Structures are given as C-alpha cells and as structure tokens.
Amino acid sequence: MNRTVSAPSARSARRRSLGAANPRILEALKRLAGETRRGRYAAAPVHLGPIENRETPFQVLVSCLISTRTRDQQTTRISRGLFAVAPTAEALASVSRARLTRLLYGAGFYRQKARQLRALARLLVERGGVPRGRDGLLALPGIGPKCANIVLASCFGAPAIAVDTHVHRISNRLGWVRTRAPQQTELRLTPKVPRRWRRRVNLLLVAHGQTVCKPLGPRCSGCVLLDLCPRRGLPKMTSVAKVSLSFRTRRA
Ligand code: SF4
C-alpha cells in the first residue's frame, strides 16, 4: 500500500527538483564538462577565478569580494598576498586599515574594499564564522548575490548558480536567457538547469569565457557549442568561418 503511494510521489518530487530543465542547456554543460576533462581549458589565465583560492569559506568569501571589478589574475595575486598575512577572520580583523589598503592595491575600489573587509572580518569573528544561508551572506558588507552563491555552491554544496560577467554574457549569447543584468540571469537561468548541474555552471562558463567565448572576439569557429548557439548579440559569421567550420565538421 505504502509502496504504491510513495513511488509516484517520489517521482513527482524528482520532477519538481529538476524543474523545467532545458535539454539544450544540459547538452551544452555536458560538452563543456567534457572539454574540461580533456584539459582543453588548461590554458585559461586563471582556471577557477576566485574559487581557485579555495581554502576555507572565509577565504572564498574574501576572494570573491576582492574579485568584484577586478581582473581574475589580479584577484588571485592579491588574494594570495592577503591570505599569507591574514588567513583567518581573526587575523584579518587585526590588520590595520593602512596595511590592508596596501595589500589590496590593484583591486578595483581597493580603498572601499579595505573598509568593507575590516567590517566583514569583525562581523565574522562576532558571529563565529561564515553564514551558511543566502540571507545571512547577503547581509554581510560588500557581499552581493554572485559572492553569496559562490560560497553556497563551492563551500556548502548548495545548488546555486553564481552569475558573474562570464555566465551572464554566455547565457545570453547561447539564448538560454534574454536579460540585461546578472541578477535577472540568475532568476531565469536557475529553473532551466538541473539541480545537480547548478553548482558547476559558474566554473564551466568561466573557463569557457576565458578561453573561447571571450567578451571581444569569441572563437566561435572552434567552439564545441556552435551548433547549439544562436550567437545572440554577435555579428553573423563570415562565409570563410562557415566554410572552415563545415570542413572541420566533415572531417570529425
Ligand atoms: S558559438 Fe561563439 S558565441 Fe556561442 S558559445 Fe561558442 S564562442 Fe560563444
């Protein structure tokens, strides 16, 4: 009796958890994961962006705050220097503002970030660590939805999509969403991605965006997603690129 009731409800719960997952998105993510496995993104300037510095939730959070309006390479360099001096919230809270400003030099808005990081470190010490929920993270100084989701996904295993500039740009080019701001992208994209893939979306699209689908001059003719991509917002491919692509496809 129980079995006949529980089986359909388990199936419908699974369907709910999958949401209206889009098969084209799933196919694209699988291809990007394959590219990662084959080492095709090894040449990315900073393969994992802010997450590369992952040691603790505190360090992911701080690195993510530094990454705002800062190039990935700079974020990694500055984060490493900072964590050599202050690897924990307690240590960071005791660094003077002048020294912190020097350590952050090179990051966008580094003076403002020095203030935010001191306030952040003190709050984390008071509260006994990094909050594990989105609301708690968003209440911290300098932490927006992208950083909150990176911490939730990479440190606490939550099925959250961290939408940064790469995820926003590529999702729109691929026609997965049609949005103007990263926050809209997060809202529209999340239900279309199966839960078990959401944590990986940021890593996969950041690597793809650093190496292939660059902001300027995307390398569409060498892209594994070309047949799935309307290239929204980009000029039409030249006939030369199309010929070279069809030649490549025939040989594959
Ligand atoms: S085909 Fe071009 S626009 Fe589309 S994902 Fe690939 S590189 Fe980006």
pLDDT of residue 154: 87
- Give the model's confidence band at 13: pLDDT under 50 very low, under 70 low, under 90 confident, else very high: very low
Would you say the CB of residue 201 lies under 6 angstroms from ligand 1?
no
pLDDT digits over 161-187, tens only? 999 999 999 999 999 999 999 999 999
Residue 111 included in any domain: yes
**Residue 5: both structure tokens together:** 């009731």
Query: Which residue's alpha carbon is nearest to atom 2 within ligand 1?
Result: 220
- Residue 37 Cα to ligand 1 midpoint, Å, equals 19
Q: Residue 79 Cα, ligand 1 centroid: separation in angstroms?
A: 31
In a domain, 2, yes or no: no
Q: Residue 236 has what pLDDT?
A: 85
* Token code pair at residue 53: 């510095």
User: Which residue's structure tokens are 């960071």?
Assistant: 92
- Residue 199 above 80 pLDDT? yes
Does residue 150 sit within a domain?
yes
Number of structural domains (the chain) is 1
Instruction: List the one residue out of 104, 190, 114, 109 whose CA is nearest residue 152.
Output: 190
The three-state secondary structure class of 21 is coil
How far apart, in whole angstroms, are the C-alpha atoms of residue 160 and residue 183? 13
Task: Say what the pTM is.
Answer: 0.80
Token pair for 155: 């440190």
Alpha helices in the chain (DSSP H): 2-18, 23-37, 57-67, 72-85, 89-93, 97-104, 110-127, 134-138, 145-156, 165-173, 182-189, 195-211, 239-251
116 in a domain, yes or no? Answer: yes
Position 81 scores a pLDDT of: 94
Asked whether residue 167 is assigned to any structural domain, the reply reads yes
Does residue 11 sit within a domain?
Answer: no
Domain ranges, residue 157: 19-252
- Assign residue 112 the CATH number of its domain: 1.10.340.30
Which one, of 25, 67, 61, 230, lies nearest residue 164 by Cα?
67
> Rounded to an integer, what distance in angstroms lies between the CA atom of residue 224 and that of residue 37?
14
Report if residue 234 sits inside a domain: yes
Answer yes or no: is 87 within a domain.
yes
